[in-house]
Amino acid sequence: MAMMRRKLVAGNWKMNGLQKDRQFLSDLATLHSETPNADVLLCPPATLLTSMAATRPGWLMLGGQDCAMTQSGAHTGDISAEMLADLGCSHVIVGHSERRADHGETDAVVRAKAQAAIQAGLIPIICVGETLEQRESGLAEAVVVSQLSAGVPECEAGQVVIAYEPVWAIGTGRTASPEDAQAMHAALRAAWSGADSAALRILYGGSMNPGNADALLSQSDVDGGLIGGASLKPDQFASIIRTLR
Ligand code: PEP
């Protein structure tokens, strides 16, 4: 049933990017005529969203990297899902392993953020993934499936995107093998509680680059990629997207 799902390539710039890096959008300007079959999303830091929203090509979607659990109010420094939607964002990453580690975000927090995103009309990209220790102890699938059931609010498959990001593969240059990624994606799809699991988009993230993207993205349950480091370089990001031609 993979045919129902359009591939999605999403760039996560993390805490990188200054005003001068808006140039990135011009570097990608003609890309979409080559790859009309893939959706492309960029999640720059919040400080670049306003200017990028004004200059982005229509085919390039924008997303936040995090949102608050609550809609508004006394939460200094936080950005609400509604604020992101108001800027023209369509997606927001929630539960990235860096936020789980740096800010102690639990599955309950991730679920509340995903719920806030859906309420604001955004699609949350909900990240799950095991540590190296958990993988080596044979717990990878149990951990990831439990993050899915605890971190995803009740919703339809089309209202969210899941990103399988093994923690040991993020920013390390190590990736899951295409076979291991496929197996985990199939397990996540099987664990989806609704009858609409064939519509659920599940991205792989963790050191995806132009050299390994094709093998990963051609797996039947891998519906795209969440790209960190390689999304900062327009030629590398474009080259990953071009594998979907
Ligand atoms: C990420 O941060 O979501 C990620 C996958 O990073 P990288 O591609 O650098 O491993």
Domains of the chain, residue spans: 8-15+24-242
> How far is the centre of ligand 1, averaged over its atoms, from the C-alpha of 83 (Å)?
25
pTM of the model: 0.97
Q: What amino acid occupies position 108?
A: A
Probe residue for ligand 1, chosen from 100, 170, 172 as the CB with the greatest number of ligand atoms within 8 Å: 170
Q: Closest Cα partner for 27 from 60, 65, 64, 61? A: 60
pLDDT confidence of residue 1: 43
Q: Closest Cα partner for 8 from 173, 231, 184? A: 231
Query: What architecture is domain 8-15+24-242?
Result: Alpha-Beta Barrel (3.20)
Find out whether the beta carbon of 219 lies less than 6 Å from any atom of ligand 1. Answer: no
* Residue bearing the CA closest to ligand 1, atom 3: 228
pLDDT tens, residue by residue, 59-101: 999 999 999 999 999 999 999 999 999 999 999 999 999 999 9
